C-alpha cells in the first residue's frame, strides 16, 4: 500500500527515550472506539516491534490504551502498558498539540513525547519504519568510521560497490569522505548486536535507496549485477531508437530526391 502515512511520536524522556511510535493517521479520521489495533514502533535498541492497543477518538483527543487485555502481549514486546493521549489543535485532528502518557493505573503526565515534525512525517512511505531502523543502525558512527577507514586504507577511494559512483569524482572537495554505509543483512537477520565490518558495504545514496526498494532485499552483489543488466537493456533500447530515427530520416531524404 503506497502512501500510508504515520504520525511519528518521539519519546524524549524516561525509559523509552529514543523510541519512535508510528501511528497511522487513518486511525484518527473518525470518532469512535476501535480495539485490537497494532502499530509499529522503533525500540531504543533499534529494533522494530509492534504494539497492540485500543483507540478512542473523541473531539480533539485520541486515547490509545496499551493496558488491560493487551498488557501481556505488549510487555513481551518491550512496550509498556499504559494510556497515551494526544490532544490535537482542532477537531480535524491534523496537528497534535499535547501528548500525555499515563503508566498503567497512573496519572496523565506531559513531557514524555513530542510529535515528529516536517512534511515527510505526513507523507511517510510504506515500510519506512524498517528503513529508518536500518539507517539508524547503519549510522552507528564508530562502525561507519571504521568501515570508511578500512576501505580508504585498502582502495584509497570511496566508490559505490553497486554502480561504481565516486563521490570525489562528482563533487570534488565537497565530498570529503562521504558515502552511505549499507548493512548487507536485513535488520531481522542479525538482531540488535554483532555487526562486523564485512557486513557493511559502501553505496552511493541512489543505489542505497534502490536496494531498499527490492523485496526481499537483494544482496549487494545481486543488485550490482542487476544494475549492469538494466544499463545494458536501456542502452540497447536507446541504440534501437536512434537507428529507427536515422532510417526514418534517410527514408524522407530518399523520397525528396525522387
Ligand atoms: Zn551506486
Ligand atoms: Zn541499507
Tell me the pLDDT tens digit for each residue of 106-128: 999 999 998 876 434 333 444 56
Q: What pTM was computed for the model? A: 0.52
pLDDT, residue 49, reads: 82
Average pLDDT, the chain: 84
Percent of the chain with pLDDT strictly greater than 90: 49
Give residue 224 CA to ligand 2 midpoint distance, Å: 14
Residue pair 49/79 in contact by the 8 Å Cβ criterion? yes
Tell me whether residue 86 is in a domain.
yes
Domain match, 17 and 121 both: yes
Range scoring the smallest mean pLDDT among 12-26, 64-78, 220-234:
12-26
Q: How far apart are CA 39 and CA 53, in angstroms?
A: 8
Domain match, 14 and 95 both: yes
Strand partners, 95: none
Domain match, 74 and 158 both: no
pLDDT in tens, 140-150: 667 788 889 88
Does the structure show a pLDDT above 90 at 216?
no
Q: What is the largest CA-CA distance in the chain?
A: 94
Tell me whether residue 253 is in a domain.
no
Tell me whether residue 258 is in a domain.
no
Q: How far apart are CA 192 and CA 43, in angstroms?
A: 10
Count: domains in the chain: 2
Domain match, 113 and 77 both: yes
Query: Quick one: pLDDT band at residue 1, thresholds 50, 70, 90?
Result: very low
Give residue 96 CA to ligand 2 midpoint distance, Å: 31
Residue 231 CA: which ligand is closest? 1
Tell me whether residue 14 is in a domain.
yes
- Structural domain span for residue 146: 139-233
Question: Please, which residues have CB within 8 angstroms of residue 44's CB and are 6 or more apart in sequence?
Answer: 16, 17, 18, 19
Give residue 161 CA to ligand 2 midpoint distance, Å: 12
Domain match, 165 and 219 both: yes
Residue 132 CA: which ligand is closest? 2
pLDDT in tens, 9-57: 988 888 888 788 989 889 999 999 999 999 988 877 767 788 999 999 9
pLDDT, residue 32, reads: 97
Amino acid at each position: 500500500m503506497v502512501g500510508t502515512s504515520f504520525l511519528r511520536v518521539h519519546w524524549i524522556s524516561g525509559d523509552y527515550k529514543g523510541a519512535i511510535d508510528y501511528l497511522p493517521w487513518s486511525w484518527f479520521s473518525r470518532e469512535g472506539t476501535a480495539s485490537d489495533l497494532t502499530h509499529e514502533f522503533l525500540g531504543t535498541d533499534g529494533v522494530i516491534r509492534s504494539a497492540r492497543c485500543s483507540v478512542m477518538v473523541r473531539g480533539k483527543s485520541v486515547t490509545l490504551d496499551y493496558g488491560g487485555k493487551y498488557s501481556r502481549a505488549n510487555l513481551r514486546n518491550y512496550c509498556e502498558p499504559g494510556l497515551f493521549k494526544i490532544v490535537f489543535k482542532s477537531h480535524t485532528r491534523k496537528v497534535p498539540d499535547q501528548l500525555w502518557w499515563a503508566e498503567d493505573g497512573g496519572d496523565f503526565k506531559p513531557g514524555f513525547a513530542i510529535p515528529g515534525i516536517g512534511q515527510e512525517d505526513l507523507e511517510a512511505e510504506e515500510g519506512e519504519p524498517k528503513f529508518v531502523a536500518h539507517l539508524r543502525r547503519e549510522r552507528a558512527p564508530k562502525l561507519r568510521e571504521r568501515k570508511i577507514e578500512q576501505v580508504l586504507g585498502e582502495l584509497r577511494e570511496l566508490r559505490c560497490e553497486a554502480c561504481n559512483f565516486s563521490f570525489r569524482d562528482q563533487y570534488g572537495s565537497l565530498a570529503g569522505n562521504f558515502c552511505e554505509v549499507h548493512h548487507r543483512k536485513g535488520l531481522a537477520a542479525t538482531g540488535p548486536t554483532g555487526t562486523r565490518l564485512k557486513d557493511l558495504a559502501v553505496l552511493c545514496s541512489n543505489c542505497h535507496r534502490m536496494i531498499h526498494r527490492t523485496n526481499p532485499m537483494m544482496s549487494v552483489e545481486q543488485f550490482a549485477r542487476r544494475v549492469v543488466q538494466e544499463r545494458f537493456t536501456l542502452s540497447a533500447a536507446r541504440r534501437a531508437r536512434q537507428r529507427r530515427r536515422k532510417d526514418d530520416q534517410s527514408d524522407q531524404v530518399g523520397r525528396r530526391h525522387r
